[in-house]
Amino acid sequence: MIPGEYSLKEVDSEELQELLAAESEPPPIESESAASAICGRIETLRHHALKQALPTLMLELERTARETLTAEERVIVMRCVKKPVLKAAAGLPKPIKGGDGGGAASITLEQRLLLLMLYNLRKTLHDVDRACTNRFADDDGDRIWVLQQMFRFFSRQIRYGIDWDRPWPPNTWRDLHDLFVYLVVRGMVQLSSDFSVSVFDEDFDAEIEYKRALLLGLTDRLTNRRANSEEFSPLLKRWATETRLQDPNSLVGQTGLIKVEVTCDEPPRLQEGALTESFRGWILRPPESFRDYIDHINFGTTT
């Protein structure tokens, strides 16, 4: 979550500070063509090198998040900016793995870029849901697209931390949990211990996407960051399909449980000893194949 006083001027990078200082403030957005104005400025960045384009791209994302736009305009801007953001992220230098993590204050430029994208996507989702009238309810495909991008960018943020041994930006996990709780509360995801029902189309299942992200973080945690995400990422969808989220109320007193606490800014964790009381969240029940993989990484057993 980006606080109200958040500013890119606070980025802890002398080089970026210099680049930002050299950037001129774009003209005010005309409300009647807000989306096209933003997309037009972003389109011009393709002709510039990353060093010149990145500060402007990040400023546009920050400015878009603060701008008063319609839901439809936000969707247009998000579709426009997705490719430049991914291209910029791919072109940024990666940190030295195992180097000084530096804590939350040393979030890398790539992490900040993903954070800004997620913040804008979240605002877009909420604006779309508020605008579910006859005027904008004609295309639920836009809403599904926004949700797809949110889960993908969350997973990208989580994988970045794993692959480059960096701390996740504050609230990464809490925001992911909040997104899923939001969908459950609105009745868009229905949970039970035996099956799940989704109101989304066949190509997208929010519960599966959430469980994929949970299993990504859980694998990293249970293996103490020894697992290679490229190796196990292809297995995540199958694991997620076979994983269950259960109400903790009926499991008090049991041992060997994996907790997903939605009020905590952390991935799932293994409960030490018996569960003594309920909590806000779920018990994660991964399949045996997931447990076999963890044993393989930790103890060298055959999967």
pLDDT single digits (tens) 126-177:
999 988 754 544 458 899 999 999 999 999 999 999 999 999 999 999 999 9
Flag whether pLDDT at 33 surpasses 90: no
| Domain end among 116, 131, 146 | 131
Q: Which domain holds residue 285?
A: 171-303
- Does residue 25 form part of some domain? yes
- Indicate if 276 and 213 belong to the same structural domain: yes
Flag whether pLDDT at 5 surpasses 80: no
What's the confidence (pLDDT) of residue 187?
85
- Indicate if 188 and 290 belong to the same structural domain: yes
pLDDT single digits (tens) 244-293:
999 999 999 999 999 999 999 999 999 999 999 999 999 999 999 999 99
- Does residue 227 form part of some domain? yes
pLDDT single digits (tens) 165-177:
999 999 999 999 9
What's the confidence (pLDDT) of residue 152?
97
Say what percent of the chain tops pLDDT 90.
Answer: 69
Structure tokens at 210: 């959430």
What's the confidence (pLDDT) of residue 138?
46
Q: Are the CB atoms for 169 and 104 separated by under 8 Å? A: yes
- Indicate if 175 and 290 belong to the same structural domain: yes
Separation of CA 60 from chain center? 20
- Does residue 158 form part of some domain? no
Planar angle of CA 207, 287, 180, nearest 5 degrees = 20
pLDDT single digits (tens) 50-68:
999 999 999 999 999 999 9
- Indicate if 83 and 192 belong to the same structural domain: no
Flag whether pLDDT at 10 surpasses 80: no
Per-residue confidence band for 34, with pLDDT thresholds at 50, 70 and 90 = confident
What is the C-alpha separation between 159 and 294, in angstroms, rounded?
17
- Indicate if 126 and 249 belong to the same structural domain: no
pLDDT single digits (tens) 66-117:
999 999 999 999 999 999 999 999 999 999 876 665 555 589 999 999 999 9
Domain count, the chain: 2
Flag whether pLDDT at 195 surpasses 70: no
b/e burial code for range 21-49 (CB count within 10 A of at least 16 → b):
eeeeeeeebeeeebbbbbbebbeebeeee
Q: Are the CB atoms for 287 and 243 separated by under 8 Å? A: yes
Look up tokens 């940190």; give the residue. Answer: 95
- Does residue 161 form part of some domain? no
Question: What is the pLDDT of the chain when averaged over all its residues?
Answer: 85
What's the confidence (pLDDT) of residue 30?
47
- Indicate if 17 and 119 belong to the same structural domain: yes
What's the confidence (pLDDT) of residue 97?
77
- Indicate if 107 and 2 belong to the same structural domain: yes
Structure tokens at 233: 């990422």
- Indicate if 5 and 82 belong to the same structural domain: yes
What's the confidence (pLDDT) of residue 203?
75
- Does residue 66 form part of some domain? yes
| Domain end among 131, 153, 187 | 131
- Indicate if 227 and 126 belong to the same structural domain: no
What's the confidence (pLDDT) of residue 189?
87
Flag whether pLDDT at 13 surpasses 50: no
Flag whether pLDDT at 16 surpasses 50: no
- Indicate if 27 and 115 belong to the same structural domain: yes
Side chain identity, residue 172: T
- Indicate if 121 and 240 belong to the same structural domain: no
Side chain identity, residue 302: T
The total number of residues shown for the chain amounts to 303
Flag whether pLDDT at 4 surpasses 80: no
What's the confidence (pLDDT) of residue 19?
47
